């Protein structure tokens, strides 16, 4: 009674145009450079301008994904056209909403926000190190996870409740 599920594999986009090879990467590079420039502006305390630039880059990516064929999109074409467009539109609108609705902060607010961001970064680093150490320790021992959740070396049903 085993049924084999076959996944429909996506075909690689074909090059139909006569344009140069770098032209296919141009929309992706525009979006990537827009987001990078927006992050740099945010780093230099121009939160609104940087966030609006990020939102504009994401919305440009959605428009490019909607209008251009897959051969000219590079890595902007990841999933289906509708999912890619809706994801980029949702993220762009969310960033624009946050950029336009958050009130400007004074110096004390910036220091508190930076301290909070540093705390979050430390927590992520500690969690990552703990995860790596747990993975490393699990590779040395017995095989991971016996079937049915029974530890290796014990048989199911004997004295276990």
DSSP assignment string, 78-119:
-S-HHHHHHHHHHHHHHHHHHHHHSPPP-HHHHHHHHHHHHH
Mean pLDDT (the chain, rounded): 77
Mean pLDDT of 80-85: 88
The answer to whether residues 76 and 31 touch, using CB atoms and an 8 Å cutoff, is yes
| 154: confidence class by pLDDT, cuts 50, 70, 90 | low
pTM, two decimal places:
0.55
Q: Pick the residue with more confidence: 145 or 46? A: 46
Distance CA 109, CA 98 (A): 16
The percentage of the chain sitting over the pLDDT mark of 70, rounded to a whole number, equals: 69
């Amino acid at each position: 009674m085993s049924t084999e599920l076959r996944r429909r594999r996506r075909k690689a986009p074909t090059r139909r145009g006569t344009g140069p090879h770098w032209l296919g990467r141009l929309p992706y590079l525009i979006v990537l450079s827009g987001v990078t420039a927006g992050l740099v502006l945010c780093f230099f305390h121009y939160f609104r301008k940087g966030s609006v630039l990020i939102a504009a880059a994401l919305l440009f990516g959605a428009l490019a994904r909607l209008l251009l064929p897959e051969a000219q999109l590079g890595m902007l074409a990841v999933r289906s056209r509708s999912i890619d467009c809706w994801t980029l539109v949702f993220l762009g609108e969310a960033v624009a909403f946050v950029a336009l609705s958050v009130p400007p902060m004074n110096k004390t607010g910036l220091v508190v926000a930076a301290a909070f961001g540093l705390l979050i970064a430390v927590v992520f680093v500690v969690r990552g190190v703990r995860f790596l150490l747990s993975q490393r320790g699990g590779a040395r021992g017995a095989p991971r996870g016996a079937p049915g959740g029974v530890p290796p070396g014990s048989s199911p049903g004997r004295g276990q409740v």
